């Protein structure tokens, strides 16, 4: 594989000089000659519909000559990358998430390192001291992907381990529930006092399990709440440094026993196992779901709809809930730079040099301001002190209109491209990110400000524990590129876990222990012990002893 990759890299370099001559303006050099137009096909595993017609996209094309023909999975589709490998037909650029393993295994992604050395000064500047983390490993120094995680990012906001409507918090004098018992009691009492909201039945807690969202609403919260773990995907790092598949760990059992009790009592949405994600968001937007276990980005659209309808009290407080006082809350621990997922260039790319030059321009100061802030005078202005601030119209629209990003392009083309985080400043001393301590505080609504006053903190994140030196020093484990055998085992474990966990939730409480034992037996049959051994070896090989 390495020999073929080296030959491919040599061929790329051989055509680099000729291709560069065709690129009449190096992206971002300020020359007046218009760049040659080119269209790159781009497949994004996390993509959404993007006709590349919004104002930010048009400005990107104007500056680089590049138009992206964006493709993404259709609803329920999970095998696009496998189909690409089977047919040998690939886009020019690709963001394949964990499926990048297959592309690397089949020599589909080029080694960008030689081209970055020639055409990537902005790429190297953006990653800085973390640039070498992009390399595949000690035995393979190639750079196949540019990391999609933000560089120099501080976690300022969180969905917490659990969420609760502000209306519920207000009715409880903004008491902060820190245990599942306290959280459940608040939901129960509010639902009893308010059996309907807006003429519809009140739902105590809702989750969704019919597609990949089961990871964010069913699986991830179990790690946060039961194990006191940061987000490592389907893995948990124990206190002894051992890595284990999450749902085979004994601490998980009591969390799912809690969900079983919630279901039996009628506090958990009776349709949680069968509703679509669209059903779930619609219920949230109706304002009748009191509690959630989800990522903030997972419910952003519904919260925007609530704000637009003047129902701010039905948006959500992020809370540091864990099983009990003995379990730490580490949901604010993002780990080190999440290398392993990112945009790569395939061997089918019509012009790898232009592709690297495009990605390099996307890392430039001009581009980073553009994709984060939009168009000057429309989406942002500079105030008398030289600070870059949102226009009032853009601020209101962003908070209330679910289509704001897609329509304006503001923030729409940041992920999964390389990007600076909220701690990075441009040459004028302004942050690249729109989400800084200052802007987060300025953006709080009346409900949130009332909570700040009650809690005696200046940011909502102030109610979460200060992790200090207890933060995870590794990248989150969900970004690791798993060897095919281990990836197949993880798929098999997840295929057993999701329906098995649902069975544990919906069964009569007296049958819970039996259902849990059946799930554990199914995980053993799916190879959990071998998967754990392989994952521990992979982590040790990649990061050393932990």
CATH for 162-331+481-543, among 3.40.190.10, 1.10.287.3510, 2.40.10.10, 3.30.750.210? 3.40.190.10
Q: Read out DSSP for 213-231?
A: THIIIIIHHHHHHHH----
Q: What is the pLDDT of residue 531?
A: 98
Strand residue runs (E) in 299-374:
316-319, 342-345
pLDDT classification of 406: cutoffs 50, 70, 90 = very high
pLDDT classification of 30: cutoffs 50, 70, 90 = very low
Q: What confidence tens digit (pLDDT) does each residue in 430-463 have?
A: 999 998 898 899 889 999 999 999 999 999 999 9
Please give the Cα distance from 341 to 480 (Å, whole number). Answer: 8
What is the CATH number that goes with domain 2-153+338-373? Answer: 3.40.190.10
Domain boundaries, the chain: 2-153+338-373, 162-331+481-543
Q: Six-digit token pair at 74?
A: 């259709």
Give the residue-averaged pLDDT of 49-75: 95
What does the longest C-alpha to C-alpha distance in the chain come to? 75
Give the residue-averaged pLDDT of 416-439: 94
Q: What confidence tens digit (pLDDT) does each residue in 252-262 have?
A: 999 999 999 99
Model pTM score: 0.81
Q: What confidence tens digit (pLDDT) does each residue in 170-224 have?
A: 999 999 999 999 999 999 999 999 999 999 999 999 999 999 999 999 999 999 9
Question: DSSP character for 319?
Answer: E
Q: In degrees to the nearest 10, what's the CA dihedral of 198, 201, 207, 209?
A: -120
Give the residue-averaged pLDDT of 373-378: 97
Give the residue-averaged pLDDT of 363-368: 98
Please give the Cα distance from 142 to 100 (Å, whole number). Answer: 14
Task: Say which residues have a Cβ less than 8 Å from residue 463's Cβ, sequence separation at least 6.
Answer: 176, 319, 320, 455, 457
- Check pLDDT > 60 for residue 27: no
Tell me, letter by letter, the H, E, C secondary structure of 404-448.
HHHHHCCCCCCCCCCEECCCCECCCCCECCCCCHHHHHHCCCHHH
Question: DSSP character for 35?
Answer: P
Q: Average pLDDT over the chain, rounded to whole?
A: 92
Q: What confidence tens digit (pLDDT) does each residue in 279-313 have?
A: 999 999 999 999 999 999 999 999 999 999 999 99
Higher pLDDT, 15 or 144: 144
Please give the Cα distance from 480 to 97 (Å, whole number). Answer: 10
Identical fold, 2-153+338-373 and 162-331+481-543:
yes
Instruction: Kindly list the distances between the CA atom of residue 531 and the CA atoms of 83, 308, 340, 410, in Å, as whole numbers in the listed order.
Output: 25, 47, 19, 41
């Amino acid at each position: 594989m390495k020999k073929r990759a080296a030959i491919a890299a040599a061929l790329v370099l051989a055509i680099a000089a000729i291709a560069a001559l065709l690129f009449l303006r190096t992206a971002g050099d300020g020359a007046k000659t218009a760049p040659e137009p080119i269209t790159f096909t781009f497949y994004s595993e996390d993509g959404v519909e993007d006709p590349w017609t919004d104002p930010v996209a048009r400005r990107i094309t104007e500056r680089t000559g590049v138009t992206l023909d964006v493709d993404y999975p259709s609803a329920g589709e999970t095998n696009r990358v496998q189909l690409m490998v089977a047919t040998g037909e690939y886009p020019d650029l690709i963001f394949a998430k964990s499926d990048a393993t297959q592309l690397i295994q089949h020599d589909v992604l080029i080694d960008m390192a030689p081209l970055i050395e020639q055409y990537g000064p902005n790429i190297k500047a953006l990653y800085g001291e973390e640039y070498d983390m992009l390399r595949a490993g000690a035995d393979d120094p190639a750079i196949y992907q540019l990391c999609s995680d933000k560089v120099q990012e501080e976690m300022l906001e969180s969905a917490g381990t659990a969420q609760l409507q502000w209306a519920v918090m207000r009715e409880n004098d903004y008491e902060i529930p820190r245990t599942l018992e306290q959280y459940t009691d608040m939901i129960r009492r509010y639902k009893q006092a308010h059996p309907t909201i807006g003429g519809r039945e009140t739902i105590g807690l809702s989750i969704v399990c019919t597609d990949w969202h089961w990871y964010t609403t069913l699986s991830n919260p179990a790690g946060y709440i039961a194990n006191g773990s940061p987000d490592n995907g389907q893995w948990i790092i124990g206190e002894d440094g051992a890595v284990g598949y999450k749902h085979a760990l004994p601490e998980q059992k009591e969390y799912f026993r809690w969900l079983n009790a919630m279901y039996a009592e009628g506090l958990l949405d009776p349709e949680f196992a069968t509703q679509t994600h669209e059903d779930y968001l619609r219920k949230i937007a109706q304002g009748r779901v009191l509690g959630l276990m989800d990522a903030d980005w997972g419910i952003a659209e519904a919260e925007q709809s609530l704000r637009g309808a003047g129902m701010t009290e039905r948006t959500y407080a992020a809370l540091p809930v864990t099983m009990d006082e003995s379990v730490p809350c580490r949901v604010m621990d993002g780990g080190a730079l999440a290398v392993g997922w990112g945009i790569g260039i395939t061997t089918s790319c019509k012009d790898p040099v232009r592709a690297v030059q495009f990605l390099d321009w996307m890392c430039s100061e001009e581009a980073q301001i553009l994709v984060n802030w939009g168009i000057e005078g429309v989406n942002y202005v500079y105030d008398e002190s030289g600070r870059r601030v949102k226009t009032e119209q853009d601020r209101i629209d962003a908070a209330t209109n679910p289509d704001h990003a897609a329509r304006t392009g503001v923030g729409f083309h940041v992920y999964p491209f390389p990007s600076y985080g909220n701690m990075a400043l441009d040459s004028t001393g302004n942050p690249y990110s729109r989400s800084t301590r200052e802007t987060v505080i300025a953006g709080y609504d009346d409900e949130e400000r009332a909570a700040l006053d009650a809690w005696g903190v200046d940011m909502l994140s102030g109610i979460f524990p200060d992790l200090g030196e207890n933060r995870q020093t590794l990248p989150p484990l969900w970004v690791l590129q798993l060897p095919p055998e281990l990836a197949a085992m993880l798929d098999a474990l997840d295929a057993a876990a999701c329906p098995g966990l649902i069975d544990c939730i919906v069964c009569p409480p007296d049958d819970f222990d039996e259902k849990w034992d059946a799930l554990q037996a199914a995980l053993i049959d799916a190879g959990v012990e071998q998967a754990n051994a392989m994952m521990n070896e992979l982590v040790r090989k990649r990061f050393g002893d932990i």
